[in-house]
Structures are given as C-alpha cells and as structure tokens.
Chains A and B, each alone.
Chain A
Amino acid sequence: MLQINNLVVEIDGKRILNGLDLSVKAGEVAAIMGPNGSGKSTLSYVIAGKEDYEVLDGEIVLDGQNLLEMDPHERAAHGVFLAFQYPLEIPGVATMTFLKSVMNAQRKARGEEELTTPDFMRRVKKAAERLHIDQEMLKRALNVGFSGGEKKRMEILQMALLEPRFCILDETDSGLDIDALRVVAEGVNALRDPKRAFLVITHYQRLLNHIVPDSVHVMANGRIVRSGGKELALELEASGYAEYKEEAA
C-alpha cells in the first residue's frame, strides 16, 4: 500500500531523514519507535505534505501515486490522514462547521456528492458516541479549551469521519492518562480494516499494548535501522534506545 524509497529530507539545511525505506501493506499496523530527534515526526509531516521540509531524494508511493507530487489537500483526498501530536486550536471556527467543510472538501475532490445535513449529523453522532465525545464539545470552537485527551479524541473522530486509507498517529499517546489512552486506542482499533493501514509513531511501548502492531520499526539517525514483529517493542522497552543512539553517533 505505502512504499517509501530512499527518502532524504532536510530542514534549514539540516539533514533529518537519511535514505529512509519503509513498506506498509494494506491492513497492517506498523509501529515506528525511536529516540527523540530520530526523525519520527518529520516523517509524518513529510508524508502529509508540510512545506517547511525540503525533499532531496526518494519517493513516497501510496497505492500507485507519488505523494510528493501532490499538495497536502490532495494527499488528504487520496486517503492520507495525520493525527497530530499537538492538535491546533482554531478560535472562531466551530467544530461542526470545520468537520462539514473538510468532509465535503474531500468528497468534492474525489468527485463525490456533498453530504446532506441529516446524513452528516448522523455520521458525527455515531462516531462521537464511540469516542465519548459529548455534544457540548462539538458546539465549541475547534480544540479551543479542550484538554489534551479531548484534543486527541477529536483527532480520532476526524479520522473516523474522513475514512482515510492510510492513517498516521504521531505520538498520539503523549499527554494522555491511562483512561484517555484506552478510549483513543479503542477508537483506533475500531477503524482497523483489511483495506486500511496505520503508521503508529511512538516513543513508548505503552500505546502498543492497546494498539497491537503487526510490525515494529526502529528509527535512528533518519533511517529505519531495525524491523521486527510486535515483540521488538517489548525488547526496546527493556533495553532502551542506547545502542541505536550510539549507532547514530
């Protein structure tokens, strides 16, 4: 489904990704783990299309199309979804207005009919219930005054409504207590599907107890340095990242 070949990326002249290769199959949940500064968040931003990064080499192919040739909104319509580590607060933009705008923008880009208001409301209600998001929260401006857990749940709500084929979770566990983590993980697990793949970026193994990955990749110095099954995450939890940091140095 997703194929990244020899990705080389710089920001402000500093090399962050250094010939990264990664392959994720449809239906797979791939975890990326690694020490701080190894380039995990950069990878997520580059897949989603943030402009600050300069891609010097390589390609990111999702279902036959090179994402690097697309604008961020085109990538979204093609099925890429990034759940942000720090979801942004947008004062003055009502959450429901935002949800409807983005859902219809993607549908329009794919040549589909816009949602009717009742259909939209029904979808939001159903997805919100599953994530324990109450109507009060939906009435507020997007993410404004939300707690850390509420913001993350709102990200997963958007993911559920937009039905992407490739989901990136960037440190979704950061700032969550165990109850919030469980709700978020259940939301993600409900979306697991043979046609959908996930890239779960995390520093800690904890999240992977709840979202059990099919593969685990260790990132250091801007490359994938080791890949394995879910047991690799447990091994990392025990041994830490020290050996990879040394490798990087």
Chain B
Amino acid sequence: MSAEVTPIRTAAETALIERFKAAKGELPGDGEVAKRREEAFARIEAAGLPHRRVEEWKYTDLRGLMREAAPLAPLPSAAEAAGAIAAAEAFAAVDAVRLTFVNGHFLPGASSTGGLPAGVEIVPLAEALASGHALLREMGRVAVGKDNAALALNAAFMADGAVIRVADGVPVAQPLHLRFVNTGAAPFATSPRVLVAVGEGASVTLLETHEGTAGVAYQTNTVVEIFAGAGTNVSHVRLNAEGDGALALSTLAVSLGAEALFNTLGVVTGSAAARHQLFLAFEGEGSKVSIGGATMIGGRQHADTTLVVDHAVPGCESRELFKTVVDGEATGVFQGKIIVRPDAQKTDGRMMSAALLLSETGTMNNKPELEIFADDVQCAHGATCGALDEDLLFYLMARGLPRGEAEALLVQAFLGEAIELVAHEGVREALLGRTAAWLAARAA
C-alpha cells in the first residue's frame, strides 16, 4: 500500500508554482534552456523554499522571509526607467562602461555599449537564451552551487541579463559597471543573470551595484557567473544598496583556470533581508583569490554572506576577510566553508570573519568551516564578535573627539581593512564615502 504524500505549501510556494506555470511559455529560450528551467523548478517544487531546518539556510529562513511570491517584473515604461536611472548614484563618479538593468531587464539604450573596448562582446541574456548562445553551456559550472535553492529559482525564472565575453589576452582598462536599478510602487520580482567569460591572459574589473525604491517589498535574485581562464586577472566589487523593503538574494559563482588572480569585495548596506552567496572553484593550479566583505546593517535588517571555496586542485591560495557591523536589532550571518579536496596539496587558505556589535540587541551568527581531505596544506580560520573597545574609545575621546565621532572613526577603520582590498582608487573612495554616510545616518 502506498499513501500519497501531499506537502504542505506556504502561500508563496503555491504562488511560485502558479507563476512558473503561467510564465514558462513566455520566458525566453526553448529546447535546452526550457528543459533547464523545468529541472530547476522541479527541485523547488519538490523541496519547497529552504527553511531553518535545512543546514545551509539555518540562519536565513527563506520560507519565512518570502511571505509572498511577487509577480515577475515587466519592463517598466521608458519614463519610469529614465527616472530610476537618473536617481542611481552608486559609483556614478567612476569612469566605466555602464550596462544598465532596470528591474532585471537589460537596457542597451541606457548603457554605454557603443564605446565598448576592443575585444569585449556583450549580448543581452534574453537574446542569448533565445538564440542558444554557446556560453549558456557553461551555466552552473561551479559544482558546489549545484543544489542551491536561490540558483535554482534564478535558473527557472531568469528572463534577462547579459552575456559578456572578454577575448584572450585583452586588458580591459575601463571597469565594466553592471548597474542594476529597481523601481516600482508595488512588489515585483526579478531574476537577472550575467555570464562573464574572461579569455586566457585577459584582465577586467567588474563593478556590480544594486539600488532600488525604498519602502517597496520587491524581490531580487541575481546571479553572476564568471568563467575566468588561465592567467586572467579579474577584480569584482559588488554593492548592495537596495531599497529598505527589498529581499535580495544573490549569487556569485566563479571558476578559475591556472595561474589566475581573482578578487572580490561585497559591500552590503541596503535591503531588508539579503543573502549573498559566493561559490568559487579552482580548476587550475597556482591561482590566488582574495574574497572580502563589508556589511553595515541596522534597524531590523538581515544580511547573510555564505561562501564556499572549493580547492579542487593543488597549489592555490585563498584569503577571505569579512567585516560585519551590526546596529539596532539587525542580524548578520557569515557562513564560510573552505573545501580542500584530496588532490589539492599545498593549498593555502585563510579565512577571517570579524563582527562588531554596536548595540545590545544586534545578533551575529558566524559559522566558519574547513573540510580538508589533503595532508600537506596550510589552512586557518577565525571568527570574532565583540563591541567597540572602550579603551580605544577613551584614547580618542581624551584627544578631543566626542564619543560619536570616536565610534565612527573606529568603525570606519574596522570596515576599512576590508574596503582597502579594492585596488581601484575611485571605487575604494566611493565605498569609504558610503561607510561615512552610513555612520552619519546612524548618528543622526
């Protein structure tokens, strides 16, 4: 005898199923792409949204956070898009090639793609999906992200984004700025995806900014996948300055060839709830990565950074430095895992997560993990969590700084250690400015 098991679904899960049924015929791509959507959604349909009893999501209960499934965002009117773009200020002063995405839709007209540097090719993802672009085969290449719910949701609903290819040996001087702007008076959902293939020996700086309307419970689920070949040098900076009602899921998946350099810094100040995931796989020997984070949250914000670094091959180095400042009743989460596979001898991995609690009511969950299967490796991790040092504060106050300014100086210094990892001066200055603005708003 067999009994039929009917899973109890939340309203959001039921709505997601309806939305997928209704949307899948309209979403770009058929054949392989459509099959991939079905497979990805089947996983969500079977397991539901991840919740606190799923270890990976223990501190970020997506089922609880996603009370409703917001409707998929249509392309906003030209006037609305123009207004939102004009209001976008993140990295506006940085000289860059700008690719603009409004509510997840790539707007070539609002992007400076006309003056693309030689050796850089950009195709809107909607077009790439419809035409079966060759790079689509690389999607989901980083194995450690395979069963991830946010990635699966994006794979099911992705509508637009971009495919970027940097040809072998090309040093791209100007940063490429992926500017995501979200606008609307009512809740909406976006699932953009950007695929970036960096050819052997090429170098490029990618900036990613996310801004949006305040007071609207919109949902974003962005995915950026970088496939960096041998000998590449890629820098990536991501800024979450989403509106204060946003639920922001994001994933950065990176595969690295041999002798490559990669660094990324994720800065979070925005959104009501955020989860940023990094999945990085070393595929060739002798590569080095630096992964950093600077999170500053207050009120009732929730910000999760989840990281898996997969040392699958020997002789690679990874450095992780995450700084989280928690004020008010906010909650910070850091989950960092370094995997060292049996063959990955001579791996050098060091991970540090430090949190500063500025209030009695803030929470920080730090979960560093090492999974080491090789014997000749150097790995270390550390996690700290504490208040500002009263002796340091007294030292600064005794020199004439009022308490608020002394606190601000120490918080700036704390976050600065991660922000200083950014090599691009204009970007670094802009991020330090964001930190100062956050501290000023806190003091006001």
- Give, as a whole number of angstroms, the nearest-CB distance from B312 to chain A: 34
Residues in B neighbouring A201, C-beta threshold 8 A? none
Contacts of B175 in A (CB 8 A): none
Residues B395 and A77 in contact, CB atoms below 8 Å apart: no
Instruction: Let me know if A90 is at the binding interface, CB within 8 A.
Output: yes
As a 0/1 sequence over residues 369 to 408 of chain B, the CB contacts with chain A under 8 angstroms (1 = contact) are 0000000000000000000001110111111111101100
Please state if A77 and B400 are interface contacts (CB–CB under 8 Å): yes
CB pair B414 A73 closer than 8 Å: no
The reply to whether B397 and A71 form a contact with Cβ atoms under 8 Å apart is: yes
A residues 110-163 near B (Cβ < 8 Å) are: 141, 158, 162
With CB as the reference atom, state the residue of chain A lying closest to B420: A92
Q: Which residues of A contact B401 (CB under 8 A)?
A: 73, 101-102, 105
A80 to B390, CA, bound (A): 20
* A248 is an interface residue with CB less than 8 A from chain B: no
One of A48, A87, A91, A158 near B417 (C-beta < 8 A)? A91
B400 to A109, Cβ gap below 8 A?
Answer: yes
Chain B residue at minimal CB-CB distance from A110 = B400
Residue of B with least CB distance to A45: B394
Q: C-beta contact mask, A30-61 vs B, less than 8 Å → 1, else 0?
A: 00000000000000000011111000000000
Interface string of A60-76 (1 = CB under 8 A from B): 00000000000111011
Let me know if B391 and A88 touch, CB within 8 A.
Answer: yes
- In the complex the two chains form, is A73's CB within 8 Å of B395's CB? no
Query: How far is the CB of A157 from the nearest CB of chain B, in Å?
Result: 12
Contact-residue bracket for chain B: 20 to 34
Decide: A91 near B413, CB < 8 A? Known: A51-B394, A72-B394, A105-B405. Answer: yes
* B148 CB-CB contact with A under 8 Å: no
> Which of B400, B402, B413 is within 8 Å of A90, CB to CB?
B413
Question: Does A93 interact with chain B (Cβ within 8 Å)?
Answer: yes
A92 / chain B contacts, CB cutoff of 8 Å: 412-414, 416-417, 420
Number of cross-chain contacts by CB at 8 Å? 74
A233: interface (CB < 8 Å): no
Task: Determine whether the beta carbon of B399 is less than 8 Å from that of A162.
Answer: yes
Size class of the A contact interface (CB-based, 8 Å): 20 to 34
Tell me if B135 counts as interface (CB < 8 A to partner A): no
Interface of B is mostly: helix
**B120 CB within 8 Å of chain A:** no
- The answer for the CA separation of A72 and B390 in the assembled complex, in Å, is 13
Known: A90-B413, A92-B414, A101-B409. A106 touches B394 (CB 8 A): no
From known contacts A73-B403, A105-B405, infer whether A90 and B410 are also in contact, taking CB-CB under 8 Å.
yes
B413: nearest chain-A partner, CB-CB: A92
Q: How far does the Cβ of B210 sit from chain A's closest Cβ, in whole Å?
A: 26
Interface string of A73-87 (1 = CB under 8 A from B): 101110011101001
Q: Determine how close the nearest CB of chain A comes to the CB of B237; give it in whole angstroms.
A: 19
Determine how close the nearest CB of chain A comes to the CB of B121; give it in whole angstroms: 41
Which among B398, B409, B413, B414 is the interface contact of A72 at CB below 8 angstroms?
Answer: B398
Also in contact, A101 and B416, with CB within 8 A (given A72-B397, A73-B397, A162-B399): no
> With the chains together, A52 CA to B392 CA distance in Å?
13
Contact mask for chain B residues 179-223; partner A; CB cutoff 8 A; 1 contact, 0 none: 000000000000000000000000000000000000000000000
Alpha-carbon distance between A227 and B312 when the two chains are bound, in angstroms: 74
Closest to B419 in A: A92
B409 engages A73 (CB within 8 Å): no
A81 to B400, CA, bound (A): 9
Among B396, B398, B409, B420, the one with the most A-chain Cβ atoms within 10 Å of its Cβ is: B398
Which residues of the other chain, A, contact B400 by a CB distance below 8 angstroms?
Answer: 73, 76-77, 102-103, 105-106, 109, 162
A80–B397 Cα distance when bound, in Å, is 11
Given A90-B410, A92-B412, does the pair A84, B402 have CB atoms closer than 8 Å?
no
A73-B402 contact given A49-B397, A92-B414, A92-B416, CB 8 Å threshold: yes
Which residues of A lie under 8 Å from residue B403 when comparing CB positions?
A: 71, 73
Task: Tell me whether B413 and A93 are in contact (CB under 8 A).
Answer: yes
Contact B402 A71 (CB under 8 A): yes
CB distance from B406 to the nearest CB of A (A): 8
| Cβ-neighbour of A82 out of B396, B398, B414, B417 (below 8 A) | B398
> Closest CB-CB distance, B265 to chain A, in whole Å?
15
Compute how far the CA of A77 lies from the CA of B406 in the bound complex, rounded to whole angstroms: 15
Residues of B within 8 A of A93 (CB): 409-410, 412-413
Q: Which residues of A contact B395 (CB under 8 A)?
A: 84, 87-88, 90
Given A48-B398, A72-B397, A101-B392 contact (CB < 8 Å) = no
Chain A nearest CB, measured from B279 CB (Å): 29
A90 to B401, CA, bound (A): 14
Which residues of the partner chain A approach B413 to less than 8 Å between Cβ atoms?
90-93, 141
The winner among A98, A102, A109 for most chain B CB atoms within 10 A is A102
| CB of B389, distance to nearest CB on chain A (Å) | 8
Q: Chain B contacts of A50 at CB under 8 A?
A: 394, 398
Chain A residue with the shortest CB-CB distance to B391: A88
User: Smallest distance from the beta carbon of B174 to chain A beta carbons, Å?
Assistant: 29
CB distance from A133 to the nearest CB of B (A): 17
Docked CA distance A91–B412 (Å): 11
Closest to B416 in A: A92
Q: How far is the CA of A81 from the CA of B396 in the complex (A)?
A: 11
Contact A158 B397 (CB under 8 A): no
Q: Are A49 and B399 in contact, with the CB atoms below 8 A?
A: no
CB-CB < 8 A to B420: which residues of A? 92
A162 and B396 CA atoms in complex are apart in Å by 13
**Known pairs A50-B394, A90-B392, A106-B400. 19 more at Cβ < 8 A?**
A48-B394, A51-B390, A71-B397, A71-B403, A73-B398, A75-B398, A80-B398, A90-B413, A91-B413, A92-B417, A93-B409, A98-B399, A101-B401, A101-B409, A102-B396, A105-B399, A105-B400, A105-B401, A158-B399
A sample of 20 inter-chain contacts (CB < 8 A) reads A48-B394, A48-B398, A71-B403, A72-B397, A73-B400, A73-B406, A81-B398, A82-B398, A87-B395, A88-B391, A88-B392, A90-B392, A90-B410, A91-B417, A92-B414, A101-B401, A101-B409, A103-B400, A141-B413, A158-B399
Question: Nearest 4 A-B pairs (CB), nearest first?
Answer: A92-B413, A76-B400, A72-B397, A106-B400
